[in-house]
Amino acid sequence: MTKNNHKTAASIKEIMATVLARDLVDGEWVEVGANLPVPRAGVLLAHLTRGPNMTVMIAMTKANVLIEPVIEEFELITDQRAMRWAEAYYIHNDLVENMKFRRKGVFFAGALQIDPYGNSNLIGIGSDHQKLKFRGPGAIGVCNATVMNSRFHLVINSHDKRILVTKCDFISAYGWGSGGSDARTRLGLPGGGPRYVVTPLCVMDFEETTKRMRLKSVHPGVSVEEVIAKTGFELVVPSAVPQTELPTDHELHVLRHRIDVRGALRQP
């Protein structure tokens, strides 16, 4: 294999995937959702480069993909062809009812709306729940997975004021409530809550004591002013905001030759 591809700069989605990958620790439990190219790539990148003891769930199987030269992508979570790497099945009701294994789990969620404390909404937009202006997909497994896993990241593919709002119309996944580092323990919620919000412009985390969303780094070519202008609430902005760390040559090589051969992350 040539290394010529590496001369192409990392795409925004490759950078987002690398941010997620670098947060993961060997031995953790992660799932590869379907039709979510960025978290999928992040999980597999961590697993293939430095997390050989991670448990990776693909299509409701405990999958052994470590030595696969190319990990084929599947569009649908129900695709039986994605079950070829199974060492075990996760029968779906067991997966959702048995929670102890999720203490080592890390989860990735999308959202229609996210507020300054990382509370998020997948239900819909509007004030009357029985007659929404926009009916969303529903909570799926997100309400539970954002509580029972050790932490989660919110990943959105557009950074704008419609998504990053002062107040969500509904909260389907609890973040830090109305703020404070004890917001979750006060309610008896075991997981560590949201850690990062990763967007096409930047990475945000949560200030330690208030748990208000804070700008952590901006992607190449993005200014702090642009992030502020496109966020619907007041972000905590430190005096110096670094650029998001880029993938190494090795990480880009693994992404392009083993994980994302079809180039989903390189599409505009």
Residues of the shown chain interacting with other proteins in the complex, contacts defined by CB under 8 A: 34-35, 60-61, 75-81, 83, 89-93, 96-97, 123-124, 129-144, 146-148, 170-174, 177, 187-190
Pick 101 or 134: Cβ nearer other proteins: 134
Q: Could you write out the DSSP letters of every residue in 14-33?
A: HHHHHHHHHH--TT-EEEE-
What is the rounded CA–CA span in Å between residue 242 and residue 260? 27
What is the rounded CA–CA span in Å between residue 220 and residue 242? 10
Pick 148 or 204: Cβ nearer other proteins: 148
Helix 37-50 vs helix 12-23: crossing angle, to nearest 10: 50
Pick 227 or 265: Cβ nearer other proteins: 265
Pick 78 or 158: Cβ nearer other proteins: 78
Closest distance between other proteins and the C-beta of residue 173, in Å?
7
Q: Which residues have C-beta within 8 Å of that of residue 166, sequence separation ≥ 6?
A: 115, 116, 232, 233
Closest distance between other proteins and the C-beta of residue 158, in Å?
14
Closest distance between other proteins and the C-beta of residue 249, in Å?
31
Closest distance between other proteins and the C-beta of residue 223, in Å?
31
Q: Which residue has the tokens 């993938």?
A: 247
What is the rounded CA–CA span in Å between residue 200 and residue 15? 9
Pick 144 or 181: Cβ nearer other proteins: 144
Closest distance between other proteins and the C-beta of residue 17, in Å?
18
Q: Which residue has the tokens 């557009």?
A: 158
Whether residue 201 contacts residue 218, with contact meaning beta carbons closer than 8 Å, is answered with yes
